[in-house]
Amino acid sequence: MNSGMRMVTRSRSRATRIASEGCREELAPREAAAEGRESHRPVRHPRKTQKVHVAYEVANDEEGKDPEPLRVPDWEPQNWQQQLANIRIMRSKKDAPVDQLGAEQCYDASAPPKVRRYQVLLSLMLSSQTKDQVTAGAMQRLRARGLTVESILQTDDDTLGRLIYPVGFWRSKVKFIKQTSAILQQRYEGDIPASVAELVALPGVGPKMAHLAMAVAWGTISGIAVDTHVHRIANRLRWTKKTTKTPEETRKNLEEWLPRVLWSEVNGLLVGFGQQVCLPVHPRCRACLNKALCPAAQDL
């Protein structure tokens, strides 16, 4: 009985196979094979695409933000590259006051990093509307007494005023220095902030000082530092799309077209050039290599 059932089963299986093979004759061999495999295999769902995260090198103050693609400026000044090359030649000796007495030279290189950064910020606060020689003298007197956040907070206003005099607006700077030092002690453990936004929030600290502090104290190029020299020269050379009225307006104009790789260089280069050649009054155009390229040279 059992063997009979097995024989029937085998016969039916064989018949089914023969019938099946007969049907396949009407199909292409590859299609038939595919049909047989698909009927016995589970359906495969398409794999979910995984996103690949690519890391880009960004400036320290831009961490956490998506990197911006390289931009091609829609405008740039005529002959600016040749003008810049000529200024580099005229500044090759590095003998302007800013080269010897700028913020990079006013701090105590042997002091702890936190103290050095504080001294850089203080020298920048003193330098506003003040010649580099006067700023350097004031910093030397302050450092002789031990220039730290704690020492400044322990110094009375009259004494501090005598130490920094005759820097420009010295009375206001006494107040700003005291207020800023107190904030640094309370909020930053005696250090200075590491962002432009936090630096300009301090009393007596403007955009130019903030960008220079980022560069000198933190080694980060956050923007172009524009003072009166850079502002004046940029307008004389027509390095702004239109005439600008303030250093901050000039900074924004310059950053729209000047390659970022030059941002760290342009401040010291133009400040020294403004101290020696492109003076505020009676600029020395005859000695300037750009006299044939400078639009303002024809008007002065």
Length of the chain (residues) = 300
| Residue 168 phi, psi (nearest 5) | -60, 140
Active site residue ranges: 208
From CA 53, how far away is CA 160, in angstroms rounded?
53
Question: Token pair 């049907």 is at which residue?
Answer: 23
From CA 75, how far away is CA 73, in angstroms rounded?
5
CA 252 remoteness from chain centre: 13
Provide the token pair at 217: 């104290």
Q: What is the dihedral of CA 232, 236, 241, 245, to 10 degrees?
A: 30
Residue 194 burial by CB count (10 A; 0-12/13-18/19+): exposed, middle or buried? middle
